[in-house]
Amino acid sequence: MKFLDLDFEERNQYIKNKYGRRVFFAGNKHGVITLVEHIKKNSKPNPELLVPVEGVWGIQFAYKYQVKIKYMIVCTEEMNSNESIMLLETLMDDDSELRAYLVSKKVFNKVSEKANSAGILALCKFPKRDLEDLNVDKNALVVILDGLEILGNVGTIVRSADGTDVSAVIITNKKTRLIHPKFIKSSQGSCFKVPIVEADFKDVHQWLVKNDFRIILTDTRSSLNYYEESYEGRVAIVMGSERYGISKDWYDTDYAGIKIPMFGDCDSLNVGIATTVILYEATLKKKKMLTRFI
């Protein structure tokens, strides 16, 4: 009999029989359930940088990029595809230390934020990287997010950074919390692939200078349009908060400025959209796929 033909008690027993002492039943007050709640609410320290990842697609992305998965929370009542059980078995077979917690639909809904999570939630260790971990070639492009306040915008930019083959996303003047399900969702899991570094301005600036990066600030007051820039060599594009702009420290550096021209009443674009426009311009030029005659 196929797994999907079993009732939820038989499904639980199937998983328990296959993985034995690595499978546990968890109720409403179980430690792993309260752990997820604390992570989502940011109500307790999270030294391991654990983040909940829901659904087949997101968990597959984490697995593909070798993100450490510490716990699986499984609701067999919600498993509505062969993909979900196959993925669970792949993860459990591949990591002998991985633990799975079987929960009821009521308990699962307590920790889940997605309507189509397929009954699986992974607690993953968010990849922590430092500036010195970054590998940059002679034509590298990095994007620096200075003081961005909206998590969805940061996630959108990371997704665009993946689409444009950016070497890294560097965050200065941090205002958002990356270990949050909304960030995983808005980045569509690309946060597990794209190197992300959080550091202060001084360290980032020193690293850029040491590695011969040219600093480009996006500023509506700039005289140069974004499409007039060549983006040659190693380039760091700095994007600022929609509310406050780029912090003063960056203007004390040796920088170039660019802007996106606006032809309506609004003076600027959403920072996620603006960053995407500029990253594609820079990447297409770097890959010799775009030439402009101005």
- Show me where the domains of the chain are located: 3-125, 131-286
Over residues 111-137, the pLDDT tens digits come to 998 777 899 999 999 999 999 999 999
Over residues 167-199, the pLDDT tens digits come to 999 999 999 999 888 898 899 899 999 999 999
Could you tell me the two tokens for 280? Answer: 């594609």
- The SS3 assignment for 146 reads strand
Fold of the CATH domain 131-286 = Alpha/beta knot (3.40.1280)
Q: Which CATH architecture has domain 3-125?
A: 2-Layer Sandwich (3.30)
Give the per-residue pLDDT at 185: 87
**Are the CB atoms for 220 and 267 separated by under 8 Å?**
yes
pLDDT at 163 exceeding the cut of 80? yes
Q: Compute the average pLDDT of residues 68-91.
A: 96
pLDDT at 1 exceeding the cut of 90? no
Q: How many other CB atoms are there within 10 angstroms of residue 124's CB atom?
A: 24
The span from the CA of 54 to the CA of 116, in Å, is: 9
Over residues 26-62, the pLDDT tens digits come to 999 999 999 999 999 999 999 999 999 999 989 999 9
Over residues 214-235, the pLDDT tens digits come to 999 999 999 999 999 999 999 9
The span from the CA of 168 to the CA of 147, in Å, is: 17
pLDDT band with cut points at 50, 70 and 90 for residue 291? confident
Give the per-residue pLDDT at 14: 96
Helix-helix angle 55-64:82-94, to 10 degrees = 30
